A and B are shown apart, each in its own frame.
Chain A
Amino acid sequence: MYQELKTHLVRALTKGVRYDGRKLLEYRPITVEYGVSASAEGSARVRIGGTEVLAGVKLDVGEPYPDTPDQGNLMVNAELLPLSNPKFETGPPGEQANELARVVDRGIRESKCIDVKKLVIKSREKVWSVSIDICTINDEGGLQDAAALAVLAALKDARLPKLTEDGQVDYDAEKTKEKLPLTKDPVEVTVIKVGDQFFVDALTDEENVIEARLTAGITDKGLICAMQKGGSLPLTVEEIDKMLEIAQKLAPTLRKAL
């Protein structure tokens, strides 16, 4: 039956129709809201269709990592909250949450989206630490792309907090107007292959029958800054190239929503 479900989907895709009537390379409506959590130094909510993801940025001062003494710290964490999907369980992040976080992290870090050199307060001693947390609220498919967009939006929303006299963060005071040193706008597009069809922004139903997927981080200049292949079926070089082309073509759609 699994095979039959897949065949049925491919039949629809071959006719250019998704299960919700969209075209193959069409995203559901995307909305971005900024500043949804006053407790965070930066936050955003992204909705792609019915899927909803929150991202929050917390800023703190701390010591730099020993191998990068002149850079600020960056960490991305993701929680697939059980409230967003009956299949998600409580407990530490599993495989899926881990992958989601790491792929988003790669897109932000490797694109040098944040100029981490500008996050140094005192060389080798004190730097800004950026902690980003992704929390899923409703999962109707396409979490990866929504999460990456939410993180970028939250980073744009972030403002540096005031420091006390002895250099600690004063969370009680009002934030400064200073933004994070952002240099790029990387977004992530996940392209999915089922049968011989490629599409983006999968619904939950469609996610259940994917054969292979490729998530690509794309900068505003169209460069690829991160990649992750998933799914059990292998891809040919031509297929990968085609999927990257699709990702480059659709990145502006996500960026436009910011």
Chain B
Amino acid sequence: MTYAKRFDGRGFEELRPMSAKVGIIPRADGSAMFQAGKTIAYCAVFGPRDLHPKFMQNPETGILRVNYNMMPFSGHGERVRPGGGRRSKEISMVLQNALLPVLNLKDYPNSVVDIFIELPQTDAGTRCAAINAASMALADAGLEMKDLVCAVAAGRVEDKIVIDLNYYEDSHEDGTDLPVAMLPNSGKITLLQMDGEITREQIKEAITKAKEACKKIYEVQKNALKARFAKV
């Protein structure tokens, strides 16, 4: 079977239309919104701040805590009961590992940087949108970061490698979802997951194409951060 044309008519390496805005939640120390196609992620960062319970404190460094959550009306089908669940917990952990490498929290012993991500509307690529929003929000919060983090869901649908899968591609029975997060300056990868069946060559192709896509995402993030301080 050959995947001749994408369901929404895009090129195989074409990203969905993106938009980003920084500073959308004034009460937070840093905040941002990232949208790819119909997937929207809001992120608020609080910290460094006091950490409770005390046993979680680390005297050598501040810690990062990510809480990823989908709003009950954001899923593709029925209402999603609030309270996260195992999927949200796993994504929270993976996001933490994707973002921590750029941060330096050694100057904040015993404290925590809390990242909260909420999605009001989804169409696959949620963890990637979450990372893109979180990385802008962390910068907005004034934290020391070596680089931003950019993420996109690459994948295979039938015989083609595609970039930025939407829900139909993601749930296609002969497909693979391959979310990738990377640091734009060094090209190093901080998140890599995959489900489905795929060859090694296809993985390499997917990652290479994802890197190209991330360059475009970096531009969107950069512009959104700079726009925050544009002339009033």
- Tell me, in angstroms, the Cα distance from A79 to B69 when the chains sit together: 11
- From A51-59, A235-243, A245-253, the one touching the partner chain is A51-59
Chain A nearest Cβ from B122, distance in angstroms: 6
Question: Using Cβ atoms and an 8 Å threshold, which residues of chain A touch B25?
Answer: 52, 83-84, 137-138
Closest to A81 in B: B118
Q: Per a CB cutoff under 8 Å, which of A39, A79, A83, A85 touches B76?
A: A39
Query: Are A138 and B27 in contact, with the CB atoms below 8 A?
Result: yes
Chain A stretch 19-51: residues in CB contact (< 8 A) with chain B: 36-41, 43, 50
- From B39-47, B98-106, B154-162, B222-230, the one touching the partner chain is B39-47
- Tell me, in angstroms, the Cα distance from A135 to B116 when the chains sit together: 13
B82 within 8 A of A: yes
- Tell me, in angstroms, the Cα distance from A188 to B207 when the chains sit together: 52
Query: Are B38 and A38 in contact, with the CB atoms below 8 A?
Result: yes
Query: Are A36 and B120 in contact, with the CB atoms below 8 A?
Result: yes
**Other 7 A-B pairs with CB < 8 A, given A82-B46, A83-B117, A140-B27:** A39-B120, A40-B73, A58-B73, A81-B118, A83-B118, A86-B27, A133-B73
Interface string of A211-222 (1 = CB under 8 A from B): 000000000000
Chain A nearest Cβ from B134, distance in angstroms: 11
A77 within 8 A of B: yes
Interface size classification for chain B: 20 to 34
- Tell me, in angstroms, the Cα distance from A84 to B67 when the chains sit together: 13
Interface string of A68-87 (1 = CB under 8 A from B): 00000000010101111110
B173 within 8 A of A: no
Interface string of B114-134 (1 = CB under 8 A from A): 101110111100000000000
Chain B interface mostly helix, strand, loop or mixed?
loop
Query: Are B116 and A81 in contact, with the CB atoms below 8 A?
Result: yes
Question: Using Cβ atoms and an 8 Å threshold, which residues of chain B touch A60?
Answer: 78-79
Chain B nearest Cβ from A31, distance in angstroms: 14
Q: Per a CB cutoff under 8 Å, which of A39, A79, A138, A139 touches B121?
A: A39
B109 within 8 A of A: no
Query: Are B122 and A83 in contact, with the CB atoms below 8 A?
Result: no
Query: Are B79 and A85 in contact, with the CB atoms below 8 A?
Result: no
Subset of 15 A-B contacts with CB under 8 Å: A36-B120, A37-B71, A39-B75, A39-B120, A40-B73, A50-B26, A54-B71, A60-B78, A81-B69, A81-B118, A82-B67, A83-B116, A131-B79, A139-B27, A171-B78
Q: Per a CB cutoff under 8 Å, which of B74, B78, B116 touches A37?
A: B74
A90 within 8 A of B: yes
Question: Using Cβ atoms and an 8 Å threshold, which residues of chain A touch B72?
Answer: 56, 58, 77, 131, 133
- Tell me, in angstroms, the Cα distance from A84 to B69 when the chains sit together: 14
Question: Using Cβ atoms and an 8 Å threshold, which residues of chain A touch B118?
Answer: 81, 83, 135, 137
A92 within 8 A of B: yes
Chain A nearest Cβ from B101, distance in angstroms: 23
Chain A stretch 141-181: residues in CB contact (< 8 A) with chain B: 169, 171
- Tell me, in angstroms, the Cα distance from A84 to B122 when the chains sit together: 20
Q: Per a CB cutoff under 8 Å, which of B28, B79, B82, B121 touches A86?
A: B28
